[in-house]
Amino acid sequence: MSIRVVIGAQWGDEGKGKIVDLLSDKADYVVRYQGGANAGHTLKFGDHKVVLHLIPSGIFNGDADCVIANGVVIDPVALVDEIKGVHEMNFSLEGRFFISETAHVILPYHKLLDQVKEKRRGDNAIGTTGRGIGPAYVSKVSRVGIRMVDLLDEEVLRGKIDQNLKDINFALENLYKEPALKTDDLIAELKESIGILKPYICNTTNLLHEGINNEQNILLEGAQGSLLDVDHGTYPYVTSSSPTAGGACTGSGIPPMALTNVMGITKAYCTRVGNGPFPTELLDETGEELRKKGQEFGATTGRPRRCGWLDLVALKYVVQLNGINELTLTKMDVMDGFEEIKVCTSYKINGEETTTFPLCLNEIENVEPVYTSLPGWKNSIEGITDWDKLPSTAKSYIRYVEEYLGVTFKIISTGPKRNETIVL
């Protein structure tokens, strides 16, 4: 039995979808445990290119049961669109797709609040996707959230929406100068989705505990990245949930002692979407080359990603934070052709050198990265599946990162497709 968490070890967009897809053929359950439709996990296999936002990335490889667990916030309309898309590809969800009855629901007022708040922040905007994720988690923590199980009883649903709109409409009309929302309109918008989702809603915590008792393999899929964790990331420029290994437990109901592996996914360089500190960001032609070669545009928003050299100080922090005991390196092929590849091995803060990742926003915004230069390679490694066929300098790059972090790589991705992978 293995219970493996697959987490982003940077600011998200590390290629978790591909790795979950790759590993899912040996899993009995694949579980999405946090975040919402702000995540975009891109999968490429055969002639298919698919972007999943809520359905676990294991739906296309093997026959694992796929679970949206309690820690996720769900936009019912977006989820139904995704379900229809999977069916159109001739993949079945029947009997192998489950939605937690205690997962919280994103309603239209969450999206509206997300957008008007970002607009009101002006230059201090966080850079959210505007999909209502943060406000839905606010409702959850404020104990006024609506859960999937509430969708199954229209009287209960109506009562909760009525109650919530008293405060929300007051804010919309008086603070944001937006028209008030009506309960009837919101329920009408949800009706089709409720009918489609109803058969999938169940007690997924109990389902997963049965899997543990039966010694089955469980793969837990995170969204976003550890440096966006609401507690441990670059606050306030973070997501609204916990993409870390600890979040996998609270977001699924699986106890910490049951976890056997924590796999961190890192690119061979760094990217970040939206605002917030980024110590190794490159605002020159090298950064633009990384963006172009890596096709670094958001799968959910289409926004260009900020690009920079690999930050080993931040990565070491994430390894320690999550107890990562295995690593995957993605987008290794993007580094083809660079004569010199730099990695950040320490920071200078106020003139003092450190290898400790700072948690104070003012400090991390003023970090001066200290780089170590490593030789690159001329020939292409795209699509290589055999470690021995990698150039010696590519191997040296990987071994250098392993030695710094104290964790070995189990998987090296040399292209976007499922089969463009070295498994060690």
Which ranges of 34-121 does DSSP label H, i.e. alpha helix? 76-88, 108-121
Distance CA 240, CA 230 (A): 6
Q: Is the pLDDT of residue 46 over 90?
A: no
Distance CA 95, CA 86 (A): 14
Question: pLDDT tens for residues 264-313?
Answer: 999 999 999 988 999 999 999 999 999 999 999 876 667 899 999 999 99
Question: pLDDT tens for residues 137-159?
Answer: 999 999 999 999 999 999 999 99
pLDDT at 43: 80
Count CA atoms within 13 Å of residue 397 on its CB side.
29
Phi and psi dihedrals of 324, rounded to 5? -65, 125
Count CA atoms within 13 Å of residue 174 on its CB side.
6
pLDDT at 228: 96
Residue type, 402: E
Distance CA 284, CA 286 (A): 5
Query: What count of other Cβ atoms lies within 10 Å of the Cβ of residue 45?
Result: 16
Residue pointed to by tokens 């950040």: 344
Query: What count of other Cβ atoms lies within 10 Å of the Cβ of residue 173?
Result: 12
Q: Give Cα separations from 17 to 12, 45, 418 (angstroms).
A: 11, 12, 10
Find the range with the poorest average confidence among 24-38, 64-78, 110-124, 132-146: 110-124
Give the distance from CA 95 to its chain's centroid: 26
Q: Is residue 153 annotated as a catalytic residue, yes or no?
A: no
Per the CB < 8 A criterion, the answer to whether 70 and 252 are in contact is yes
Distance CA 337, CA 162 (A): 60
Identified catalytic residue from 21, 41, 104, 110: 41
DSSP 3-state assignment of 221?
strand
DSSP 3-state assignment of 263?
strand
Q: Which helix (H) or strand (E) holds 352?
A: strand 352-354
Percent with pLDDT over 70 in the chain:
99
Question: pLDDT tens for residues 379-421?
Answer: 999 999 999 999 999 999 999 999 999 999 999 999 999 999 9
Q: Is residue 41 annotated as a catalytic residue, yes or no?
A: yes
Count CA atoms within 13 Å of residue 268 on its CB side.
27
DSSP 3-state assignment of 371?
strand
- Structure token digits, residue 95: 């009997």
Identified catalytic residue from 13, 114, 311, 333: 13
Q: Is the pLDDT of residue 17 over 80?
A: yes
Question: pLDDT tens for residues 183-242?
Answer: 999 999 999 999 999 999 999 999 999 999 999 999 999 999 999 999 999 999 999 999
Q: Answer whether 0.85 is exceeded by the pTM.
A: yes
DSSP 3-state assignment of 54?
coil
Secondary structure of 2-51 as H, E, C letters: CEEEEEECCCCCCCHHHHHHHHHHHCCEEEECCECCCCCEEEEECCEEEE
Distance CA 258, CA 209 (A): 10
Query: What count of other Cβ atoms lies within 10 Å of the Cβ of residue 403?
Result: 10
Residue pointed to by tokens 């972090």: 405
Q: Give Cα separations from 159 to 30, 162, 181, 343, 421 (angstroms).
A: 34, 5, 15, 55, 51
DSSP-derived secondary structure letter, 186: H
